[in-house]
Structure 1
């Protein structure tokens, strides 16, 4: 069964419960997500994005990963 935008949002929210999370995409493989969370304060973009990718629990790992592509934007709240 292909992964859905809702699945991705749920996994991100497990690690970032207070974040503002938006996930778009409906082809089962290519998605875009924006995650805005206070926990990113003081982290550079690479560190922020690594934290989000870790929340995806290996769904993007290797050629057999369920999630083929995720355009990810992370930032702290204004």
Structure 2
């Protein structure tokens, strides 16, 4: 069963409440998404650590319920 974009956003915001989250369904099938996440919590973190924080927020759903996620992350510009 595909995962809804709203559920992805809710999970990310639960872990990163300050985040600006934009989710795009890339294929229209509810299985292939793009997520752009901007959070002050990412300041000073490597890109790998930023992505790990988002994957942790998804609670192990990657590769299962959530098939594919193209992820871009950033700290807010000052």
Task: Compute the TM-score of the two structures, normalised by the length of structure 2.
Answer: 0.91
In the TM superposition, 1:30-41 aligns within 5 A as 30-41=32-43
> 1:19 maps to what in 2?
19
CA RMSD of aligned residues (A): 0.9
Q: Which runs of 5+ in 1 are unaligned?
A: none
**Which consecutive segments of 4 or more residues in structure 1 shift more than 4 A?**
none
TM-score, normalising length from structure 1? 0.91
Unaligned runs of 5+ in 2: none
Give the number of equivalent residue pairs.
75
Deviation at 1:27, TM superposition (A): 1.2
